[in-house]
Chain A
Amino acid sequence: MERRDYIIRKLFMAVLTLAVVVVVDFYLFRVLPGDPVRAVIGRNVRISREAQENLRVQFGLDKPLHEQFFATLGQWAQGNLGISWSLRQPVSEVLLAKLLNSLLLVILGQTFSIVLGIALGLFAGWKRKTAVDVGALAFSLTMWATPTFWLGIILLVAGSSWLGLPTGGTLSPQNINKPLWEVWPDLALHLILPTLTFTIVYLGEYMLIMRSSVLEVLSEDYILTAKAKGMTHWQVLRRHALKNAMLPIVTLVALNLGFTVAGAIYIETVFSYDGLGKLFQTALEKQDFPLLQGAFLLLAVSVITANFIADVVYSYLDPRVKAT
């Protein structure tokens, strides 16, 4: 019962947030300066007033704002996110293609960083103040202080000059548009450095959280009870400490999953990796509003969804959740 109420409340919040995001997304781009018609035509092209007006009507820009909002809302609900001005393709198509690329990078990177981060954090918290702990702490703190994009640049230089890894892109030029099953080794090669950057950046964060979580958990009374029952340290860790210590990580992971699709902007820029982040950056430069709007919506939706999933998973792991 408690759990169901909890999930319902979280669902409500997710929907509410989504509504806010949708409204913000729409109005933000409508009040943004820059004439959308101009952006389509190009700055220096002369065009008659009449032609301009026709274009405006065509884009539905002559109607009152709130009418436009509901019209757009209807379109979005059907999955129609408009046409990209710069790419002349349906936004949803463009987004989907790039989303898959981004997801690949994010999921790989997150998996590695989670597994390594949890393992390292567990060990560091258990063997506090030993060389492993101090080393891991120093590493994590330094990584926290390191800008993602700069780390990417360094790894790019090191990887390409010392290991001959590709200097950017998702695929080598000759392999674009070939089917995936044919070119996946090439893709894998291109993924190594971005994924490594990704992993290192998030590894530190997970390690720190896990470590402090472990320290807190290991000071709880039930650990003493477990010890008193005659368990070895390792048994205590594995059975009683691990599950309890991982709870904060679950929430963090899911939140990160959503965010990193957006945050991968830096990595994708440095490595010219063809994902959502790079798309967003390009769309911003070109002032391609439908694309920007759609991309922003997608990014926000992914974060909201990831957040909600995290809440649900958490409610199954921790029996203490309450509805309020």
Chain B
Amino acid sequence: MSERWLLFKRSAGEFWNTFRRNRPGLLGAFLLLTALALAVFAPVLAGRDPSETIRDADGRPFTFASPAEHAPLGTDDAGHDIWAQLVYGARISLAVGFLAGFLSMFIGSLLGILAGYFGGWTDTLLMRLTDILLVIPDVPLMLILVASVRQLNLGISPLVIMIGVIGLLYWTSTARLIRSQVLTLKERQFVARARAIGAGHGHIILKHIIPQVLPLIVANTVLIVSTAILVESGLAFLGLGDPTQPSWGTMINFAFSRSAISNGAWWFYLPPGLAIVWVSLGCVLLGNVLEEILNPRLTAHHLEGDEKMVARQEAPSAEASSASSHL
């Protein structure tokens, strides 16, 4: 046990060293962490409740106030502070994104491991299922599912419904990835050896397979989370979010449907979109970094570096070689 811990510590240390030197990865981490901080410290940073109506000098709701008139980000069509909405919106967008991403990742990893490890019918079934699922258009399906579940009036929060729907539809890429990794692991024979000494399936999966696919799962999760955040924003934009708990996507929906565009209120639709890009970019940079570390492509390809190949100082004289006199 302690030996494995030492190994883990050492590989974690190497991992950290490589990570430290990779600038896009660090940028990604920075972006993500600031967004998380925004969400966590929302009440402190917002300064006010997002549903509070800002009033102008005459006591009327100060609608579409520009950032110059009302710092820092102006107000919307009902006089609500946009900065506050943005900051609280971070909580919703990130929460839904992360939860949906984790759900997706969990389902995908589980199915991928099972399919890869057991092979045979399990595998074929899973592969056909993912093939079919991949081909069904995602946005229309999600629209229908969310709308219909909402109609059932089961009292489930729209956000939870969204988490469920996204999680249930986006696990296919993870499943395929994990499955092929498990297949590679299986070929390394330690599975056969473990079975030969009588280890049970569960034991093998827990002790051997999972630790080895874990890095891949982690790397993939980051990317899936960013996909989930983007998908959520899209669905929210189409009106499927919770108006009482607006995410960034819902904010843009408000802006779009409440004439922010025609009123020139760029402070209403620009910041939430930028926030989405901020977070998604962070996740993607982070995810790419992790992938780079795990699958390094450090060697140059064949069409690189030709100009530098011959670096001779000057044409040598015949005596340059020690062998010249003998040949």
Q: Do chains A and B touch in the complex (CB under 8 A)?
A: yes
Chain A interfacial positions (CB closer than 8 Å to B) = 13, 16-17, 20-21, 24, 28, 32-34, 125-126, 128, 141-142, 144-150, 153-154, 156-157, 215, 218-220, 223-224, 227, 233, 236-237, 258-259, 261-263, 265-266, 269-270, 280-281, 284, 292, 295-296, 299-300, 303-304, 307
For the complex formed, measure the closest distance between the CB of B14 and the CB atoms of chain A, giving whole angstroms.
24
Q: Tell me if B280 counts as interface (CB < 8 A to partner A).
A: yes
Measured CB to CB, the nearest residue on chain B to A28 is B144
CA distance A40 to B163 in the complex (A): 32
Contact A219 B302 (CB under 8 A): yes
Contact A148 B135 (CB under 8 A): no
For the complex formed, measure the closest distance between the CB of A208 and the CB atoms of chain B, giving whole angstroms.
10
CA distance A236 to B303 in the complex (A): 9
Contact B284 A303 (CB under 8 A): no
Please give the number of chain B residues whose Cβ is less than 8 angstroms from any Cβ of chain A in the complex: 50
Name the residue among A150, A224, A263, A307 with the largest chain B CB count within 10 angstroms: A150
CA distance A16 to B131 in the complex (A): 11
CA distance A233 to B302 in the complex (A): 10
Partner of A149, one of B234, B279, B280: B234
- Other A-B pairs beyond A150-B272, A224-B302, A303-B136, 17, CB < 8 Å: A17-B131, A17-B132, A125-B301, A128-B301, A142-B281, A145-B279, A145-B280, A147-B237, A147-B277, A150-B269, A154-B273, A157-B261, A219-B301, A233-B306, A259-B137, A263-B138, A284-B147
Given A28-B144, A150-B276, A215-B297, A266-B234 contact (CB < 8 Å)? yes
Contact A215 B135 (CB under 8 A): no
The B interface is mostly helix, strand or loop, or mixed, namely: helix
Chain B interfacial positions (CB closer than 8 Å to A) = 128, 131-132, 135-141, 143-144, 147-148, 151-153, 226, 230, 233-234, 237-238, 249, 252, 255-256, 261, 266, 269-270, 272-273, 276-277, 279-281, 283-285, 288, 297, 299-304, 306
Contact B303 A265 (CB under 8 A): no
Q: Which residues of B contact A144 (CB under 8 A)?
A: 280, 284
Contact A280 B143 (CB under 8 A): yes
Contact A17 B135 (CB under 8 A): yes
